[in-house]
Amino acid sequence: MLKVILLKLFGRFFPKEEAISPYRINYKSYYNAGFKAVFFDIDNTLVPYDAKANDEAKELFKELREMGFKTCLISNNCKKRTATFAKDVDSSFTYKSKKPSPDAYIRAARHLDVKVNEVIFFGDQLFTDIWGANNAGMYSILVERIGEDVLTQIKLKRYLEKPVLKAYEYVKSN
């Protein structure tokens, strides 16, 4: 009963899966399961807030491309930050994406000629990344954030995430 209520209240914020890091994923198994694209949040998901693309990130995108995946960065950050990162990892991107609105996610999928249910999305925040991916009908994976939260609004959201994460843990284990 509690599970049903929690799902009703918070289910839209729940990721389909949790993972430690987007760098420790068996992408091949997702490819074999029919997924065709991998979308990512940038800040605190791939690198710390506002950090440049490092070798690990560049290598990951190269591997994904070689595997046959299309990639896109869905960021709420500005054009300069997002475009620079995207150029470094050689990926499509959308900036000022207004997550959790599903619009940017859906437009990006259309642009890359994949269906929304063929896209895996990685992000570190429930109320922007995961909610947005769920809204768009994508397969959402919550990862542990890299680095510290810099913006006050993100710190606040992090605080509000706590009860939702508790609810998620309960639903998962019951």
Looking at beta carbons, which residue is closest to Mg ion?
A: 44
| Closer by beta carbon to Mg ion, 10 or else 22 | 22
Which is nearer to Mg ion, 49 or 170 (by Cβ)?
Answer: 49
Beta strands in the chain (DSSP E): 17-19, 37-40, 70-74, 92-94, 119-123, 139-143
Peptide bond into 100 cis (omega under 30): yes
Within its chain, how far is the Cα of 145 from the centroid?
11
Structure tokens at 55: 């070798």
Q: Which residues pair with 142 in a beta bridge?
A: 18, 123
Q: From the CB of 35, what's the least distance to Mg ion, in Å?
A: 21
From residue 67 to residue 106, what is the string marking binding to Mg ion with x (rule CB under 5 A)?
A: ----------------------------------------
Size of the site for Mg ion (CB under 5 A): 5
Residue number, 114 or 128, with CB nearest to Mg ion? 128
Piece of 4-12, 93-101, 116-124, 158-166 that binds Mg ion (CB under 5 A): 116-124
Contact between 161 and Mg ion (CB under 5 A)?
A: no
Interface map 15-54 toward Mg ion (x if CB under 5 A): --------------------------x-xxx---------
DSSP letters of 55-106? HHHHHHHHHHHHHT-EEEEE-SS-HHHHHHHHHHHT-EEESS--TTSSHHHH
Q: Which of 138, 125, 144 is nearest to 41 (CA)?
A: 125
Nearer to Mg ion, 70 or 97 (CB): 97
Q: What is the CA radius of gyration of the chain?
A: 15
Enumerate binding residues for Mg ion (CB under 5 A). 41, 43-45, 124
